Amino acid sequence: MKLVELRLDFLGRAINLTRLLTDRPTPVVITIRRREDGGRWMGSEADRQMMLRAAVVAGAEYIDLEADVADEIPRYGNTKRIVSYHDFNETPDNLAELHAHMAASDADIVKLATMANSFADNVRMMELVKNAKVPTIGICMGDIGTPTRILASRFGSPFTYATYSTERTLAPGQLNYKQMNDLYHFDEINADTELFGVVADPVAHSHSPLVHNRAMQAAGVNARYLPFRVAKDDLHHFIDACPKLGIHGVSITIPHKESALNYCTQAESSCTGIGAINTMIFDKEDRLGYNTDYRAAMDCITEIYKQSAGNERAINDRGIQGLKVLILGAGGVSRAIAWGLKQRGAEITIASRTFERSAMLANEMTARAIAWENRYDVKPQLLVNGSPVGMHPNLDSSPYDQAAINQFMVVFDTVYNPENTLLIKYAREQNARIITGVDMFVRQAAYQFKLFTGREASTALMRQAIKDATSNVRFN
């Protein structure tokens, strides 16, 4: 059932309930939120309660009543009572006590909306909803709380909230109707839906939910891929909660790639060598670690050298063995690429804007570290940008000057938003061969999809999804 919440506190003129409710195409929830509860009501409390009573008399299907005033507005007719509580600072420790008090106020539905400050807040809220005897809507606000919105029906909520506007949200972390409908297919999530996601901090910028959900929908898989914002010091709580919430696997990115390896019961050998994972699969009691960044990057490099060499033997013997490589950046993706190239006998030099990080990575990879300002002293055959320089919104930045690029080089930029970074544009103008961040992103996502679902992903669909997400053109 579709509902529309009418936020009368947002109306800047005299409220005509008859006009609003006559011939309405769908059931409505009438809400007049006070400023202290995150609303915009500017009138007196007496006038607000009078308007709420009038909405009940007018036959609104639902009315939202704050817990402290619910007992002052009696039940009348067929209007159902949503007794609500909002806390924009935290998720209180006494959720169960609050819930019991609200349920006792003649509630048809109890609504709790609190700010999530840790993933444990999500778990407590979803468990409360699942075990409640009275229908309960439990929402944790903010980016950390997004899963409670998407998974509301799975845990027993009668409905959840989304904004119709793509530009305005009425509560922190609220998703819009198009996202809930088209990306997450909220109405189709059930107890059998397998859950996956990306773990990061921040996570709102991630395009992985779009890419994986499109691929899962195209493959006919009953699964959803969610954004999980998890702080660096909260990762252990999240991993412990995954089996309880039915999460079968996660993509792992900044800042968790290295620390997540410590929570694996098993990990493929490349992860141990790299010292990081970007994928974790939950298999009964086991936590299995993988690094699809490494696989994807090596595939991209091998393919471009194979194309120029003409055959597989050439790439094995001459393509990468002894190849002079300059890697810009010393983060997780640079670490994965450096390890893969080291295994294949490349001569690696690493430069980052923080020399100490370059030196540490170079020492681990038996490579050479140089100062950032000396990066042009190297004459690489393969240039890899593993730094964020050139990433949106810094579109006019490049980690490497155009004059230092020549037609005999391969230029690999791991930045995928935008695909055509300034570095890639420079490389094209110099007739160098290129590998874009989209090439790598799609390959690593396809590997993850196979680990998650056991099926091959449509890389063409994934490529189109990431291009749609990073395009400057938006269609509503």
Q: For residue 332, which amino acid is it?
A: G
SS3 category, 247: strand
DSSP letter, residue 222:
-
Catalytic residue of the set 257, 299, 413, 439: 257
How far is residue 62's CA from residue 80's CA, in Å, rounded to a whole number?
5
Q: Measured in whole angstroms, how far is the alpha carbon of residue 20 from the centre of its chain? A: 37
Is there a catalytic annotation at residue 232?
no
Tokens of 218: 């195209």
What does the block give as tokens for 328?
């810009």
Q: Residues 163, 121, 221, CA angle at the centre, nearest 5°? A: 60
Alpha helices in 328-389 (DSSP H): 332-343, 355-364
Tokens at 317, concatenated: 């013997």
Residue 87: strand, helix, or coil: strand
| CA 118/CA 27 separation, integer angstroms | 35
Q: Is 317 a catalytic residue?
A: no
Tell me whether residue 111 is one of the annotated catalytic residues.
yes
Q: From the candidates 64, 293, 299, 413, give the one annotated as an active-site residue.
A: 293
Q: How far apart are CA 79 and CA 56, in angstroms?
A: 6
Pairing relation of β-strands 28-31 and 109-115?
Answer: unpaired
* 293 is known as an active-site residue: yes
Outline where 175-309 has alpha helix (H).
177-178, 208-218, 235-245, 257-260, 269-274, 292-309
Q: What is the DSSP string of 406-428?
A: -TT-EEEE---SSSS-HHHHHHH
- Is the distance from CB of 169 to CB of 183 less than 8 angstroms? no
Active-site entry in 111, 207, 212, 248: 111
| List 9, 86, 99, 201, catalytic entry | 86
Q: Active-site positions?
A: 86, 111, 257, 293
